[in-house]
Chain A
Amino acid sequence: DSGVTQTPKHLITATGQRVTLRCSPRSGDLSVYWYQQSLDQGLQFLIQYYNGEERAKGNILERFSAQQFPDLHSELNLSSLELGDSALYFCASSPWVTDTQYFGPGTRLTVL
Chain B
Amino acid sequence: GQQVMQIPQYQHVQEGEDFTTYCNSSTTLSNIQWYKQRPGGHPVFLIQLVKSGEVKKQKRLTFQFGEAKKNSSLHITATQTTDVGTYFCAGLTGGGNKLTFGTGTQLKVEL
Interface, chain A (partner B; CB < 8 A)? 2, 33, 35, 40, 42-43, 45, 48, 55-56, 58, 90, 92, 97-98, 100-106
B97: A residues at CB distance < 8 A: 48, 55-56, 97-98
Contact indicator B88/A43 (Cβ below 8 Å): yes
Residues B56-111 near A (CB distance < 8 A): 88, 90, 92, 96-104, 106
> Which of A58, A103, A104, A105 counts the most B-chain CB atoms under 10 A from its CB?
A103
Whole-angstrom distance from the CB of B60 to the nearest CB of chain A? 21
Contact indicator B42/A58 (Cβ below 8 Å): no
Contact indicator B101/A45 (Cβ below 8 Å): yes
State the interface size on chain B (CB cutoff 8 A).
21
A42: B residues at CB distance < 8 A: 88, 101-104
**Which of B43, B48, B102 is in CB contact (< 8 Å) with A103?**
B43
A2: B residues at CB distance < 8 A: 42, 44
A102: B residues at CB distance < 8 A: 45
**B33 on interface, CB distance cutoff 8 Å:** yes
Contact indicator A98/B88 (Cβ below 8 Å): no
Contact indicator A98/B99 (Cβ below 8 Å): yes
B44: A residues at CB distance < 8 A: 2, 103
